[in-house]
Structure 1
Amino acid sequence: MEANDLRSYISSHKNIFVLRNKQFRDSKLVIDGCNLYHTLYFTSGLDQAQGGEYGDFETVVRNFFKNLKECRIKPYVVLDGGDGGEDGDDGEFRNLKKKGEITIRKAHALSTGRLRNVLPILVKTVFVQILRKLEVPFVQCVAKAQWETAALANEWNCPVLSNKADFYIYDMKGGLLPLWSFQWNILSLLNQSGEKFVRAKEYFVERLRPRRRRLLPVFATIASNDDIHLDKGSLPNWAKPSKGSTATKDIDALFKWLSKFKKQKQAINGVLSHITDPAYSDKVHNVLTQGLEDYQLYLSSIAEFFTSGTALPDSSPCLPEWTLQQLAKGKLDTVVMDVLAKQRTVLSFPVENSLYSSSNRTSQPIRQTIYALLLGVTDGAYVEEYDREELEITSSRVEAVLPSKVVPNLQLETLKDVKYGALGSVLSYWPLGTQHATSCHLVGLGYKRIPNNLKLSYSMVAKAKQQFFRPRQRLALKHVSHYSFSTMFRPCQKCFASDFWVLYC
């Protein structure tokens, strides 16, 4: 069973997960940022195959927050971070790789003319820029943001806006507003007062029957965790499932089977009693215990960030204090945390011809330099990169290498004081090393893997587009240029090495 199966089950069983109409206005709203920018982009009919329509995407995002303001709704956006940090869950990283494999296949299908939802690789960067322009409060978490999002909303007694299934499990005081039900683009008037509101559906765990409410975390942990595989034939009185796909039938049967237990501990013992392998039983027990803990809400660590700007706490000793502040403000990409904490990263997968090499290879020497700067070494350090090989996701150990012209003895603690001139030589690799220029290679180098401060000047890229790309490709890159060079480096402007990864990846 997977998280997608749980989501499908919840959406198809509204008799259990009861939704009620809501006239939403005049309130705080904690927003699942990643879910929001995915939904806004995919539901707005914007281009996915030609690199993205970021100008039109900005219009959609602006309209969304403008309508919230008209209803006196105060948004607080929470964004996902890295894959879990030094002590992060390897299951989360497996899910990340699995999502990468799915994206590769979707991107391939889209490149051949079939319709698939593939998010252009700069959407998150553009979304953060727009939030900053609109002065919408937001925070980027160190790891996955679901728990922090739910805890913040629970602390503030306001709802969460998201489509993710996890938020149906958290017992939040302010409840959940499913994003699919949130009619933000058609505002309604409240009686004759002229005040506006957004029509939505609201969901509360407390409206479930008491037994279902208590057992919901056990059910969700089993149903969404790939490490738990139950043989339904070994479970007595396996309930007769309702109609639906095989996966949702199994989830329905599991929910009905668990409902015979009164308490969480009884349900866990009931599951373990039908597992004969002691080692696997211990593993399942640990997963279930951790799952119950993960669904318990207490004070959020990001509330103080919104009120005072305090950096987020972190359990990993690999991350310097100054990186936490930049991560939280969205000025430092979460790949930095992945490299520092675990020396690994899953690269982005743009829409491209899968028969050719991945466009990420073009910028690998630049990433090698960034890895060396982050890890503070001159040789012997490697980062495990996950990239595309045709339609498969593969890993390779990439050495962290400093160019020969770079000042020696660079250290992470003093890196922000090193001037830009020491780093510029690595940029010469692209014009000298690329034999066959494509739009994906330009995106891979100029827009995704180099921060704004170090990107080629707008005039140079415009000339490159005229020289190397066909008219349709040039049109596809139109909106990307607008955002990529909005804060480009100017010769009279001081630039330090810390800017080298401010918007890296």
Structure 2
Amino acid sequence: MGVQGLWSLLEEYNQIYQDIHFRDSKLLVDGTNLAHLLYNRANLDQNHGGEYLAFQAEVQAFFKTLDNCQIKSKVVIDGGSGPSDIKLNHRMDRQRTRVKKIPDALKGGEKGFYALFTTTVFEQTLNDMKVPLVRCFGEADGQLAALAREWCCPVLSRDSDFYIYDLPEGFLPLDHFQFDSVKTSGARSYISCKRYTTSSFCTLFNIDHQLLTVFAALAGNYYDNLIDVKWASFVPAGSPEVRFGDDRLVGLLSWLGARTDRRTEDTLTAAMALIDNISQQARTEMWTWAQTEVQNAMLEYRLPSSSLRSFFSEGTVPPLPAEIWSWIPEWVRVSLARGDLGANILDYDILVHRRKFLRTQLQCRVLQSSNLTSPPIRQVMYRLLLGQGGGGVR
């Protein structure tokens, strides 16, 4: 799900982070986030096909730095959206936003269009370096968090979902992970970084842990329906001005912190009461819908037993849902999980949702998309990979 604006807000409240010297530890890495951050920080070409040799060098340098600090990393990469499809609208909005930015990008004034093979080169480089990695069948966030809880190690990412997951060793935001300025203490090297924990968040904003997923749901998926509520009015008098973050989030957190009842249902009822100028019937319908959204959010943030632990220890491929298991040959599942086949070949979106989000390419907007040349080829490929059940991919 994610909470838009939460990262910016916590930069305002940076006392929430703990400064640490990170070394001699296991580390779970959000590979999708890291690949894009390394490409962006190196200031490599994003608009003319990509600079993959230079990018490969950046990836190699990063993981050599981890080795020098005795950090044993395991990398987990996204493999499409999860079965709930809860982020579909967000993904479609993000695609539309990128399309609108194409004219500026063509003039060299806009970034964010990562070269098409960024993730593929990232995976190949890690395989060459023998860095353990796995591509999930679906989104990686929940599996990363579940494994981090079982292994009692932190997660390195920049995804705002990790501000909500309750992890025993916390979350290391990538933007504060100073891997390019390694320091030494005696004969041992370390990386300066910041660690976040949900206990620090709840203490700072005085909210109960049980309301953390309610906050994520109200601020994330359901926030548009409460947009007219004057959340800023709930910010205590004398609070510091929010310069770059969202003062509506501060108000929502302040409102949740002032509540003494921890029950989710009562919190939702109170939130609905803040909406003006709607009928009782509309309010009831909105409450029912909000309850469903919050329940979905709580399921998203509820950590299952990790299916990745046995992959890293024994090479066992993470399971697929039983209804699609028989479609996928063993060699395909193994190759996908190991990163030998990129997500452009096969991912959870194709397996379950029968669609594929293609990368936005920089081209003249008045012309038809160049992706329109490939559907017949891709459909044949999907049918070959999926067997007779593989038709109908969009």
TM-score, length-normalised on structure 2? 0.87
Match for residue 290 of structure 1? 296
Match for residue 350 of structure 1? 361
Q: How does 1:42-61 map to 2 (within 5 A)?
A: 42-61=40-59
CA-based RMSD of the aligned residues comes to: 2.7
Match for residue 188 of structure 1? 183
Select 2:144's aligned residue among 132, 141, 149: 149
> Does the CA contact (< 8 Å) of 1:340 and 1:374 recur in 2?
no
Q: Distance in 2 between matches of 1:289 and 1:91?
A: 12
Matched, 1:201 2:194: yes
Q: Deviations over 1:236-285 (max 9, x none)?
A: 97446864479812111111111122314242343355574233221110
Number of residue pairs the alignment of both structures matches: 376
Q: How does 1:293-304 map to 2 (within 5 A)?
A: 293-304=299-310
Select 1:20's aligned residue among 14, 18, 22: 18
> Does the CA contact (< 8 Å) of 2:2 and 2:216 recur in 1?
no
Q: CA deviation at 1:163?
A: 1.5
> Does the CA contact (< 8 Å) of 2:24 and 2:70 recur in 1?
yes
Q: Distance in 1 between matches of 2:227 and 2:374?
A: 47
Q: Distance in 2 between matches of 1:170 and 1:33?
A: 18
Q: Distance in 2 between matches of 1:264 and 1:63?
A: 49
Q: How does 1:382-421 map to 2 (within 5 A)?
A: 382-384=392-394
> Does the CA contact (< 8 Å) of 1:272 and 1:285 recur in 2?
no
Q: Distance in 2 between matches of 1:236 and 1:363?
A: 49
> Does the CA contact (< 8 Å) of 1:23 and 1:199 recur in 2?
yes
Matched, 1:166 2:161: yes
SS in 2 for 1:143: coil
Q: CA deviation at 1:369?
A: 1.7
Quick check: which has more Rg, 1 or 2?
1
SS in 1 for 2:92: helix
Matched, 1:248 2:230: no
Alignment gaps of 5+ in structure 1: 385-505
Amino acid at match of 2:361: P
Q: How does 1:190-269 map to 2 (within 5 A)?
A: 190=185, 193-207=186-200, 208-209=202-203, 211-226=207-222, 229-230=225-226, 232-233=228-229, 238-239=234-235, 243-244=241-242, 248-262=246-260, 263-265=262-264, 266-269=266-269
SS in 2 for 1:201: strand
Match for residue 436 of structure 1? none
Amino acid at match of 1:72: Q
> Does the CA contact (< 8 Å) of 2:269 and 2:287 recur in 1?
no
Matched, 1:281 2:287: yes
Match for residue 315 of structure 1? 321
Q: How does 1:413-452 map to 2 (within 5 A)?
A: none
> Does the CA contact (< 8 Å) of 1:37 and 1:124 recur in 2?
yes
> Does the CA contact (< 8 Å) of 1:32 and 1:161 recur in 2?
yes
Q: CA deviation at 1:180?
A: 1.0
Amino acid at match of 1:205: T
Amino acid at match of 2:341: L
Q: Deviations over 1:169-226 (max 9, x none)?
A: 1111111111111111111111xx3111111111122234263434222112211115
Q: Distance in 2 between matches of 1:235 and 1:7?
A: 18
Matched, 1:326 2:335: yes
Q: Distance in 2 between matches of 1:343 and 1:293?
A: 23
Alignment gaps of 5+ in structure 2: none
Q: CA deviation at 1:228?
A: 5.5
Q: Distance in 1 between matches of 2:271 and 2:44?
A: 46
Q: Deviations over 1:448-501 (max 9, x none)?
A: xxxxxxxxxxxxxxxxxxxxxxxxxxxxxxxxxxxxxxxxxxxxxxxxxxxxxx
Match for residue 41 of structure 1? 39
Q: Distance in 2 between matches of 1:236 and 1:195?
A: 48
Q: Percent identity?
A: 32
Amino acid at match of 1:352: Q
Deviates more, 1:175-184 or 1:365-374: 365-374
TM-score, length-normalised on structure 1? 0.69
Match for residue 100 of structure 2? 105
> Does the CA contact (< 8 Å) of 1:232 and 1:238 recur in 2?
no
